[in-house]
């Protein structure tokens, strides 16, 4: 069964740090871009970051640049999100998601996030 399971969420004070993990199973993890998407309580979805198959490219939403770092360990089938200098507005449910797409003639054709985890809750509060 294709599955993503997040862990590492919790309560942290403003300015603190937290590291989320996402364990992948049931598919060839190293063949996919991977993303983190978050959802503040009662709000909509916000894409946070993604990372290329080999870890050689990362992209971030502006509000987390310089504070968050996405990384992966293909040998462990795991995705990570290191979150530093956390703010109250970072509070929410953080989803790990698989980016579905394929390369053809040096171009990447992106289809969407087709597998999602159940989410990890991050609460930033004093």
Give the binding site for other proteins (CB under 8 A).
35, 37, 44-47, 50, 59, 61-62, 95, 100, 110-114, 116-119
Task: Kindly state the smallest distance separating residue 114's Cβ from other proteins, in Å.
Answer: 5
Smallest distance from other proteins to CB 13, Å: 28
Distance of CA 10 to the CA centre of its chain: 16
**H or E segment and range at residue 48:** strand 45-51
Tell me the two tokens of residue 4: 């993503």
3-state helix vs strand vs coil in the chain, percent to 5: 10, 60, 35
Cβ proximity to other proteins, 15 vs 65, nearer residue: 65
Q: Rounded distance, CA 89 to CA 72, Å?
A: 25
Whole-number minimum distance, CB 57 to other proteins, in Å? 9
* Cβ-based nearer residue to other proteins, 23 or 45: 45
């Amino acid at each position: 069964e294709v599955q993503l399971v997040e862990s590492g969420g919790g309560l942290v004070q403003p300015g603190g740090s937290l590291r989320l993990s996402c364990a992948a199973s049931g598919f060839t993890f190293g063949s996919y871009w991977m993303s983190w998407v978050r959802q503040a309580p009662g709000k909509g979805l916000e894409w946070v970051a993604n990372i290329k198959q080999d870890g050689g490219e990362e992209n971030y939403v502006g509000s987390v640049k310089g504070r968050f770092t996405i990384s992966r360990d293909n040998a462990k089938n795991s995705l990570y999100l290191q979150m530093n200098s956390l703010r109250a507005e970072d509070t929410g449910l953080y989803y790990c998601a698989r980016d579905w797409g394929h390369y053809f003639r040096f171009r990447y054709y992106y289809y969407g996030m087709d597998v999602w985890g159940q989410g990890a809750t991050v609460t930033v509060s004093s």
